[in-house]
C-alpha cells in the first residue's frame, strides 16, 4: 500500500503547481565528512598466492651445472682414464716414462685426471635461493605489523536548506543530518589462514634439494641488478619470479598508512537532486493534511485512470472486453477469498494489474 499512497501524493498536484515548485526552488546543501581508516594492507597476499606457484615449479625442476676439475697426478693416483686424458698425454709426451717396444704399450709417469660433478650452484638457482629468503623476511615483517583491531571512523554532517513557492504559498525546509561511526574492526580470519598457508609453502621450498644444497655450500646471495641471463629472460617461470622479486624489493619497507578524508563542500550534484525530490514529497505529504475525503478520492481516481492509460499505450489492440474479463476474473477470485474493503480492492487491483503489465 505504501507505494500506492506515494503515487497518490504525486498525482494530487497538478502540472502547473509542480512546475511552480521546481522552477522557484532555491536550495543549498553543505556536506562535512570526517573519515579515518587505520586498516591493514593485505594486497601482498593476493600477489604471493599468484606468483609463488611459479617458484615451486622452478624448484621441482632445477637447472644443474656440470663442473670440471683437471689436475696432473701420478699414474698410481689416477682414478679414471678417459678421452681427455689420452688427448692430453698425446700433447704432453714429456709425461711418457717408457714405451714397451714389443707390445707398444705406453707407460706414463703422470696423467691428466678429470673430475666432473653436477651442481646446483648456478646464477639462476642462487637467484631463486635469494628470492625465497627475501620472501620469508617480507612475510615476517608484514605479520609483525598486522594491527589486530584497526580503527574505523566515518562521520558525516549534512545541512540542507530550501525554499520555493507554489502560487502564493511559501514553503521552507531546514534539515540537519548527522551520522557518527567510531569503531574497531577485526582482522578477517580467512586472511590469517591464507597467510599461514603462504608461510607453509615457503617453508616447504626451504626443504627442497636445491635450496638445502645451496644453503650447505654457503653460496653468496645475488644482489640487484639481476643479470638478464637467457634462462631468466626466456623461461616463463623465471619471468614470474622476476615479477615477485621486483614486488618484494619495492614494498618490503612499505607501511600501512591510514586513510584520512576530511571534506567540507557544497553538494551540487545528484545527491542534492535526491534531497530536492524528498523536499517535494514532504511538501505533498503535509499539503494533504487539510484535504477532504472528496479530494483524496479524486486523486485516487486520477491515479487509476492514468494507470489504465498506460495499459492502453502499451497494448493499443487491447479491447474493453478483454480488460474487463482479465480484471473481473481476478476480482471474483479475490471476493471469494475475503470480504474486500475499499483499500483491499485497490491493493488487489494494483497487484494483478502489475502482473498484466509485465505480460504485456
pLDDT surpasses 50 at 340: no
Cα dihedral 200, 205, 207, 213 in deg (nearest 10): -160
pLDDT tens-digit series, residues 194-205: 999 999 999 999
| Mean per-residue pLDDT, 24-41 | 91
> Which percentage of the chain shows pLDDT scores above 70?
63
Residue with more model confidence, 191 or 69: 191
pLDDT surpasses 60 at 150: yes
Residue 59 burial (C-beta neighbours within 10 Å; 0-12, 13-18, 19+): buried
pLDDT tens-digit series, residues 73-132: 566 556 666 666 556 556 666 656 667 666 666 666 665 555 556 778 899 999 999 999
Residues ≥6 apart with Cβ < 8 Å to 259: 35, 36, 37, 39
Q: How far apart are CA 166 and CA 219, in angstroms?
A: 87
Q: What is the mean pLDDT of the chain?
A: 79
The three-state (H, E, C) secondary structure of the chain, written as one string:
CHHHHHHHHHHCCCHHHHHHHHHCCEEEEEEEEEEEECCCCCHHHHHHHHHHHHHHHHHHCCCCEEEEEEEEEEHHHCCCCCHHHHHHHHHCHHHEEEECCCCCCEEECEEEEEEEEEECCCHHHHHHHHHHHHHHHHHHHHHHCCCCCCEEEEEEEEEEEEEEEECCEEEEEEEEEEECCEEECCCCHHHHHHHHHHHHHHHHHCCCHHHHHHHHHCCCCCCCCCCCCHHHHHCHHHHHHHHHHHHHHHHCCCCCCCEEEEEEEECCCHHHHHHHHHHHHHHHHHHCCCCCHHHHHHHHHHHHHHHHHHHHHHCCCCCHHHHHHHHHHHHHHHHHHCCCCHHHHHHHHHHHHHHHHHHC
Q: What is the pLDDT of residue 360?
A: 41
pLDDT surpasses 50 at 3: no
Q: What is the pLDDT of residue 2?
A: 43
Q: What is the pLDDT of residue 254?
A: 84
Residue with more model confidence, 192 or 100: 192
Q: What is the pLDDT of residue 106?
A: 63
pLDDT surpasses 90 at 48: yes
Cβ atoms of residues 114 and 68 within 8 Å: yes
Q: What is the pLDDT of residue 46?
A: 96
| Mean per-residue pLDDT, 135-164 | 92
| Mean per-residue pLDDT, 171-183 | 91
| Mean per-residue pLDDT, 226-242 | 94
Q: What is the pLDDT of residue 104?
A: 62
Q: What is the pLDDT of residue 199?
A: 96
Q: What is the pLDDT of residue 317?
A: 73
Q: What is the pLDDT of residue 271?
A: 85
| Mean per-residue pLDDT, 319-342 | 64
> Which percentage of the chain shows pLDDT scores above 90?
40
Amino acid at each position: 500500500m505504501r507505494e500506492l499512497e506515494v503515487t497518490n501524493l504525486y498525482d494530487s498536484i497538478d502540472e502547473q503547481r509542480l512546475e511552480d515548485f521546481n522552477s522557484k526552488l532555491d536550495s543549498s546543501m553543505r556536506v562535512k565528512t570526517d573519515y579515518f581508516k587505520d586498516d591493514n594492507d593485505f594486497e601482498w597476499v593476493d600477489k604471493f598466492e599468484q606468483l609463488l606457484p611459479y617458484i615451486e615449479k622452478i624448484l621441482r625442476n632445477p637447472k644443474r651445472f656440470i663442473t670440471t676439475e683437471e689436475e696432473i697426478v701420478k699414474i698410481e693416483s689416477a682414478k679414471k682414464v678417459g678421452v681427455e686424458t689420452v688427448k692430453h698425454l698425446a700433447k704432453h709426451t714429456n709425461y711418457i716414462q717408457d714405451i714397451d717396444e714389443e707390445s707398444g704399450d705406453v707407460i706414463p709417469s703422470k696423467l691428466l685426471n678429470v673430475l666432473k660433478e653436477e651442481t646446483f650452484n648456478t646464477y639462476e638457482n642462487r637467484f631463486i635461493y635469494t628470492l625465497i629468503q627475501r620472501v620469508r623476511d617480507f612475510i615476517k615483517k608484514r605479520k609483525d605489523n598486522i594491527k589486530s583491531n584497526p580503527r574505523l571512523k566515518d562521520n558525516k554532517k549534512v545541512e540542507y536548506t530550501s525554499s520555493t513557492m507554489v502560487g502564493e504559498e511559501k514553503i521552507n525546509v531546514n534539515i540537519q543530518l548527522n551520522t557518527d561511526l567510531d569503531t574497531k574492526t577485526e582482522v578477517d580470519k580467512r586472511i590469517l589462514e591464507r597467510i599461514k598457508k603462504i608461510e607453509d609453502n615457503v617453508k616447504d621450498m626451504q626443504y627442497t634439494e636445491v635450496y638445502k644444497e645451496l644453503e650447505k655450500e654457503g653460496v653468496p646471495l645475488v644482489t640487484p641488478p639481476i643479470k638478464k641471463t637467457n634462462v631468466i629472460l626466456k623461461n616463463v617461470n623465471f619471468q614470474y619470479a622476476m615479477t615477485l622479486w621486483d614486488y618484494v624489493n619495492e614494498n618490503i619497507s612499505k607501511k600501512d598508512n591510514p586513510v584520512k578524508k576530511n571534506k567540507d563542500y557544497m553538494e551540487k550534484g545528484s545527491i542534492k537532486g535526491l534531497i530536492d525530490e524528498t523536499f517535494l514529497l514532504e511538501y505533498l505529504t503535509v499539503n494533504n493534511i487539510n484535504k477532504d475525503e472528496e479530494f483524496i478520492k479524486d486523486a485516487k481516481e486520477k491515479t487509476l485512470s492514468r494507470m489504465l492509460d498506460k495499459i492502453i499505450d502499451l497494448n493499443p489492440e487491447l479491447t474493453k472486453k478483454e480488460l474487463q474479463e482479465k480484471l473481473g476474473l481476478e476480482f471474483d477470485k479475490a471476493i471469494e477469498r475475503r470480504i474486500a474493503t475499499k483499500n483491499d480492492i485497490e491493493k488487489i487491483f494494483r497487484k494483478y494489474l502489475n502482473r498484466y503489465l509485465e505480460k504485456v
